[in-house]
Structure formats: C-alpha cells, structure tokens
C-alpha cells in the first residue's frame, strides 16, 4: 500500500455537495463577488456520468517549451484553470547535474524517509496528513531545514520563477499557516525499481474533501489545482506519467467508488492514455486536479525519482501558492 492508497481509503471521495460548493471560474477580468456563499448560487457542475463514452475526447492542448520560453505564456495557469490548456512540459529547467546533486544528497537522509512501500518520500506531504495538520507541521522542518544544503542552486526559487512566469507575473510562494508553521515546497519521491507505482488519481478527489486541506481550501483555489514535478532520475523501464482521457467531472460511478488501487487502474484502461515523456531536469505542470493520471510501474535497477508538489492560485488570484 502506498502513501496515497493509505490515505485515500481514510475518507470518501468528494461528495456531490462538496463538488457543488465551489467550482471556480478563474479569470482576472471577472473575479467572483465577495458575497456570502448562500446568497449567490454556486455554479453546479455537470453530474458525474454513470457511463462515459471512452472515445469521447477530453484531453486538449499541451505545450512543450524550453525553460527560456515560459515567459511567452503568462496566461498558462489561467488557461489551465479554465480548461483550455491541460499542461506544460518545460525542458531544461535544471541541468542533469543540478538535480543529480540534490538526489544524491537527499539519499544521505534516507533514515528520515517515509517508506510507503511502493513510494518512498523525503519530506512530508499534506496529502497524507492528519486533519489538524499537527503531524505535517512537526515533520515539515525535516526537509525544509535542509533545502538550502540539498541543492547547489536555488531549487525552490526556480520553481517559483517558473510558476510566476506562467502565472502572469503573480508572486509565487510557499504558504504558511499563522501560528502553525510553513508548508513544505517539495517532496522528493523515490519509486523503487521492483514495481514502484502511483495508482491513478486526481487531486480534486482529495483536496476538496479531506480535513488536512482545510487551510489550503481557505486560501487557495483548490478545484482543478495543478501538479508539478521535476524529473530527478529516470528508471530503466516504466515510470511514465500517463494522463487518461478522462476528467474528474466525467468520472463514472464505478471509478469514483473505488480507492486508489490496481483495481481502479484496471477500470481506467477503457479510456485513452497519453504518456508524457520527460528527461532529467525537465519540469511538468498540469491539471492534476482534473485529469486522471498515474505513474506506470517502475522496473529495472534504477529508482524513478521526481521532485515536486502542487500549485494553485490564491483565492484572491493575486498569488500562486505551491506546496507538497
Ligand atoms: O511525482 C510524480 O511523479 C507523480 C506526481 C503526481 O501523481 C501528482 O502530482 O499528482
């Protein structure tokens, strides 16, 4: 059982009423009015279909850019929220050496890794935290206090630089919860080469239902939020990120009813799949909230390593937040 599997089963998927609560339409031009939720009817998403035609196309546009081209796409985050862009592959955000150094130094802290079997994490993640987040804030310094010495470059700063560039110049920052602590900007994820895997999921199913996300829901637009990661090491075989041609809002009931598992992955096989090919140092930013995705099982001799987290616009749309 892996990290997400463990915690996916502790709670039901987002309920219909929770989904109806807030599907944001993100637009700088038309901010949502600051009124009491009950005074303005929330937009009602389409009911989840019980049957989805597997041939219906869901995946749309994807950008494949060089690092120095990101500033040509300042509207990318808004387009991702609006559903007109699925994601971006950004080539060469880091050199191979820059990430390899971080991965090597992270391994020196292996005694402090969180071993979930099919995934091993350096750094704690809000996805598995207790509802009150006390465990998360207690564990956050294990990686946060070492970020400066892990990399020879300002790794977190460069992630922020990319997010800011594709977020129309909004400042990008790692949030803090007053009186509690700082969020963790990245986790380093090792998938062991004996079948390490991340089963299919979308962030909408847990970010909008679980107690640990309560603070993030207050400060950020968590519906259709973003995932990002940088490839730290490629495995010999497998380990591709696969996007299914299926969005959370269209998810059939049989898929919604199951926790993250091989069984649920098997149900998703009836949908089209797009593997995303990335090299060491490349960064991906995509609508992990909305698009079903999984990491294929890893085999061979080398672990698959990624360094990443999640991102969302702040509620007032003035900032981009990122965390893990
Ligand atoms: O780190 C990875 O490779 C997987 C990322 C992922 O599944 C997610 O961000 O939702």
Q: How far apart are CA 220 and CA 118, in angstroms?
A: 30
Tokens read off for 220 = 């950020």
Beta strands in 179-276 (DSSP E): 181-182, 187-191, 198-201, 226-233, 237-238, 241-247, 273-276
Question: Tens of pLDDT along 139-174?
Answer: 999 999 999 999 999 999 999 999 999 999 999 999
- Residue 309 CA, closest ligand 1 atom number: 9
pLDDT beyond 60 at 43 = no
The mean-pLDDT minimum among 2-11, 213-222, 235-244, 270-279 falls in 2-11
**Which of 229, 207, 222 lies closest to 162, judged by CA?**
229
Quick one: pLDDT band at residue 261, thresholds 50, 70, 90?
A: very high
Question: Tens of pLDDT along 60-112?
Answer: 899 999 999 999 999 999 999 999 999 999 999 999 999 999 999 999 999 99
Residue 50 lies in a domain: no
67 membership: H or E segment, kind and range: none
Q: How far apart are CA 24 and CA 81, in angstroms?
A: 8
State in Å: Cα 84 to ligand 1 middle.
21
Beta carbons within 10 angstroms of residue 309's beta carbon: 25
Any residues with Cβ below 6 Å from ligand 1, and which? 189, 198, 227, 229, 241, 288, 293, 295, 306, 308
| pLDDT for 25 | 36
Average pLDDT on 233-241 reads 97
State in Å: Cα 29 to ligand 1 middle.
31
Residue 30 lies in a domain: no
pLDDT beyond 60 at 272 = yes
| pLDDT for 13 | 43
Taking CA atoms only, the protein residue closest to ligand 1 atom 6 is: 227
Number of domains in the chain: 1
CATH number at residue 202: 2.60.120.620
pTM of the predicted model as reported, rounded to 2 decimal places: 0.86
Beta bridge partners of 172: 320
Taking CA atoms only, the protein residue closest to ligand 1 atom 4 is: 295
Quick one: pLDDT band at residue 11, thresholds 50, 70, 90?
A: very low
Taking CA atoms only, the protein residue closest to ligand 1 atom 3 is: 306
Question: Tens of pLDDT along 113-146?
Answer: 999 999 999 999 999 899 999 999 999 999 999 9
Residue 131 lies in a domain: yes
For a pocket test of ligand 1, which of 293, 304, 307 has the largest count of ligand atoms closer than 8 A to its C-beta?
Answer: 293
Mean pLDDT computed over every residue of the chain: 87
Taking CA atoms only, the protein residue closest to ligand 1 atom 8 is: 227
Tokens read off for 119 = 């995934």
| pLDDT for 24 | 36
Q: Residue 260 belongs to what domain range?
A: 3-22+58-323
| pLDDT for 108 | 97
- Residue 308 CA, closest ligand 1 atom number: 1
Residue 17 lies in a domain: yes
Q: How far is CA 21 from the centre of its chain?
A: 21
Do residues 114 and 124 lie in contact, with contact meaning Cβ atoms separated by under 8 Å?
yes
Quick one: pLDDT band at residue 55, thresholds 50, 70, 90?
A: low
Dihedral angle computed from the Cα positions of residues 118, 122, 126 and 129, in that order, rounded to the nearest 10 degrees: 70
Residue 35 lies in a domain: no
- Residue 288 CA, closest ligand 1 atom number: 10
Q: How far apart are CA 191 and CA 297, in angstroms?
A: 8
| pLDDT for 51 | 58
Residue 145 lies in a domain: yes
DSSP for 13-35 reads PPPHHHHHH------SSSPPP--
- Residue 227 CA, closest ligand 1 atom number: 9
3-state secondary structure of 69: helix
Residue 81 lies in a domain: yes
Do residues 62 and 87 lie in contact, with contact meaning Cβ atoms separated by under 8 Å?
yes
| pLDDT for 36 | 39
Residue 46 lies in a domain: no
Taking CA atoms only, the protein residue closest to ligand 1 atom 7 is: 294
- Residue 294 CA, closest ligand 1 atom number: 7
Between 7 and 208, the higher pLDDT residue? 208
């Amino acid at each position: 059982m892996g990290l997400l599997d463990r915690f996916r089963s502790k709670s039901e998927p987002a309920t219909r009423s929770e989904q109806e609560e807030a599907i944001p339409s993100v637009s700088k031009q038309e901010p949502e009015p600051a009124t009491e939720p009950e005074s303005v009817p929330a937009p009602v998403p389409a009911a989840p279909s019980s049957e989805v035609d597997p041939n219906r196309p869901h995946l749309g546009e994807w950008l494949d850019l060089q690092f120095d081209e990101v500033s040509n796409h300042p509207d990318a985050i808004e387009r991702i929220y609006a559903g007109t862009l699925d994601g971006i592959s950004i080539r060469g955000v880091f050199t191979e050496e820059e990430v390899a150094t971080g991965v090597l130094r992270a391994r020196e802290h292996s005694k402090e890794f969180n071993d979930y079997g099919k995934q091993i994490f350096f750094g704690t993640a809000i996805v598995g935290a207790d509802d009150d987040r006390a465990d998360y804030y207690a564990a956050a310094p294990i990686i946060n206090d070492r970020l400066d010495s892990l990399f020879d470059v300002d790794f977190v700063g460069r992630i922020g630089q990319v997010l800011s560039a594709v977020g129309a110049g909004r400042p990008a920052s790692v949030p803090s919860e007053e009186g509690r602590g700082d969020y963790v900007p990245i986790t380093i994820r090792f998938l062991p080469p004996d079948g390490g895997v991340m089963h299919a999921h979308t962030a909408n199913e847990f970010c909008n239902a679980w107690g640990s996300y309560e603070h993030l829901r207050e400060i950020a637009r968590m519906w259709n939020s973003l995932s990002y990661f940088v490839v730290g090491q490629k495995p010999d075989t497998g380990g591709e990120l696969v996007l299914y041609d299926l969005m959370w809002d269209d998810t059939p009931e049989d898929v919604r009813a199951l926790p993250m598992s091989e069984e649920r992955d098997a149900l998703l096989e009836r949908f089209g799949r797009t593997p995303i090919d990335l090299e060491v140092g490349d960064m991906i930013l995509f609508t992990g909230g909305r698009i079903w995705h999984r990491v294929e099982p890893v085999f061979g001799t080398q672990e698959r390593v990624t360094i990443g987290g999640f991102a969302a616009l702040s509620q007032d749309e003035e900032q981009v937040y990122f965390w893990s």
